Structure 1
Amino acid sequence: MAATAVVQDPRLGEAVGNPAKLKALARQASNAAADYRDGAAARGDRVHQYCEQIALRAMGKPHQAAEAREALAANNEEPFAGRFDEWWDTYQVQPLAAEVTVWNSSVGYAGTLDLVATIGGRLCLIDYKTRGTGRDGRVKPLDPKVIMQLAAGAKAEEMVVDPAAGTWEPWKYSQDPMLLGVAIGQTEVQTVMANPEVLPAYWSKFWSLRQVWGATQKVTDAGIALREVGPPPPLAP
């Protein structure tokens, strides 16, 4: 990314032969990966915000759908909204809850599900991913690890009711849900379903990673791991 940033910088021509200007370009290009990451994260936040507002609107709740779409348009990202709207109508999504914070006290983790909805009469737990477009014009496919997030959501024990008041209720969306990953791009939206046959393996991996994380925290909090030891006292003559 740094090399590409230098090559595509319009100031490169005038910087050739000027060490000071070349150093300035190199210094700026060294941040290319971080800038890309931060830009992608901000774009993802704007797309997720729009998706949440559409769900709230469909549920008859207060929403800011228009403002969320304007924020996308201001960043030349409105095609994401257009493709999402097409997906929403085509799949006839019936939202039940949006941006649901869940908790599992047995294993010890919390997280947020983007959407709980019924599609075609089937209960679905949905995770959105904002994705770029490949050279073929198709949205880039999802990483299979999205299954771990969805499996963890399906194993929730409680869900937040009022975050301000801190009230929770038992998780009520565990009736054999379909787990869907939705890749939202500027040219299309791709929907994939977690294969039920692999869910136990992915849940096992998630559970194992949680145990490793917990063990690491215990080691970190345990104190000094190595202490210097001096030599023994001299033997008596």
Structure 2
Amino acid sequence: MTSPALAQQTDFGRMYSRRIGGLPEVPSITTVISQAGMSLDGWIGHMAATAVIQDKRLPEAIGNVAKLKAIARQASDAAAQYRDAAAARGDRVHGYCEQIALRGLGCPHTAAEARAELEEHGEGAFAGRFDEWWEEYQVVPLAAEVTVWNEEVGYAGTLDLVAEIGGRLCLIDYKTRGTGRDGKVKPLDPKVVMQLAAGAKAQEMIVDAEAGTWEPWKYGAEPMLLGVAIGETEVQSVMANPAVLPAYWSRFWSLRQVWGSGLKVADAGIALQPVGPPPALRD
């Protein structure tokens, strides 16, 4: 996951401050969405089992308890290792996408360096497919990696891209995705609609993170909300269905209340106090 300048990791999840070095004030959009929770037990077990099966030491470890335990210990971290590797890959791909947007905006950029980094990790195909998508969709960037704030509800986040495509104003969120058995990029999770809906409800956008200067959000005029799945074989663009946006916004608003209630509980003090027996009754 990328780390915008105003974002900080806290005991209550990722939060944003109004300026660099300031105190965290509101949760990030992704932190709010995470309040919904999702069990990963099945996936974690699958990753661990797969790691054991694919371990080249397994044949010689059969019948040897010590060696089997060593393989099991290593396999237990398989899900975390996969998650961390996927996050690092996502950061590199997002970084490249940002540099392409900066180049399109006429700003200083390091697109060549970002692509070289992807190539070094064997991930150059992501850049190639993204370049094809950028040209095919004739993307005209307006703002890249822009941090937004909603004071009324109390949250902030960073939008990957604001652009014009086909004459339409678009708010865009990139997701780096793997490739399915059919050779297609894996589809996006519908939760991306919540993320986009929250971004569209922005009230302010950052101008100078160091000074803490903000200005009113100027891209809220009925934008098209696009989720863009970036894979090694293709890039797939999907639009948030306008008819479902009120429901997804309502869900996000409710999850923000859940996050806030957790903060109140944490600050409420000791929840349970010892109680002694009553005094003995006199005859």
TM-score range, shorter chain: over 0.9
- Residue type matched to 2:269 in 1? G
Spell out structure 1 runs of 4+ moving beyond 4 A.
none
Change (3 A) 1:234 1:27: closer
Partner of 1:102 in structure 2?
148
Deviations 1:164-203 (A, max 9, x none): 2221111000011000000000000000000000000000
Matched, 1:8 2:54: yes
What is the rounded CA distance, in whole Å, between the counterparts of 1:14 and 1:78 in structure 2?
A: 37
Match of 1:44 among 81, 90, 103: 90
1:152 aligns with 2:201: no
What letter is aligned with 2:138?
Q
Structure 2 equivalent of residue 17 of structure 1 = 63
CA distance in 1, matches of 2:246, 2:91: 30
- Percent identity at matched positions? 79
CA distance change for structure 1 residues 233 and 21 in 2, over 3 Å: closer, same or farther? closer
Corresponding position: 1:111 with 2:157: yes
> Quick one: which amino acid aligns to residue 208 of structure 1?
S
Of residues 240, 243, 249, the one that matches 1:197 is: 243
1:236 CA drift (Å):
4.9
Give distance in 2, aligned partners of 1:217 and 1:202: 23
- 1:7: Cα distance to partner? 1.3
Per-residue CA deviations over 1:102-154 (Å, capped at 9, x if unaligned) read 00011000101000000001000000000000000000000000000000000
Report the equivalent of 1:82: 128
Is structure 2 residue 232 aligned with structure 1 residue 186? yes
Map of 1:31 onto structure 2: 77
Answer 1 or 2: higher relative contact order, Cα 8 Å, separation at least 6: 2
1:62-77 to structure 2, matched below 5 A, reads 62-77=108-123
Is there any run of 5+ residues in structure 2 with no aligned partner, and where? 1-46
CA distance in 2, matches of 1:101, 1:172: 13
State whether structure 2 residue 216 is matched by structure 1 residue 170.
Answer: yes
Instruction: Tell me the equivalent position of 2:3.
Output: none
Question: Structure 2: which amino acid aligns with 1:162?
Answer: D
| Match of residue 211, structure 1, among 247, 257, 261 | 257
Q: Report the residue type matching 1:43 in the other structure.
A: R
Q: Does 1:56 align with 2:67?
A: no
Measure the CA separation in 2 of the matches of 1:44 and 1:184. 10
Q: Tell me the distance in 2 between the aligned counterparts of 1:23 and 1:234.
A: 57
For these two proteins, the number of residue pairs brought into alignment is: 237
Displacement of 1:15 after TM fit? 2.4
Of 163, 185, 189 in structure 2, the residue corresponding to residue 139 of structure 1 is 185
Once the 2 structures are TM-superposed, how far is the Cα of residue 93 of structure 1 from its aligned partner? 0.3
Deviation at 1:233, TM superposition (A): 3.2
RMSD: 1.1
TM-score, normalised to structure 1, is 0.97
The offset of 1:91, in angstroms, is 0.3
TM-superposed deviation, 1:231: 3.1
Q: Which structure has the larger Rg over C-alpha atoms?
A: 1
**Helix, strand or coil: the match of 1:198?**
helix
What is aligned with 1:127? 173
SS of residue matched to 2:233: coil
Match of 1:219, as an amino acid?
V
SS at match of 1:99: strand
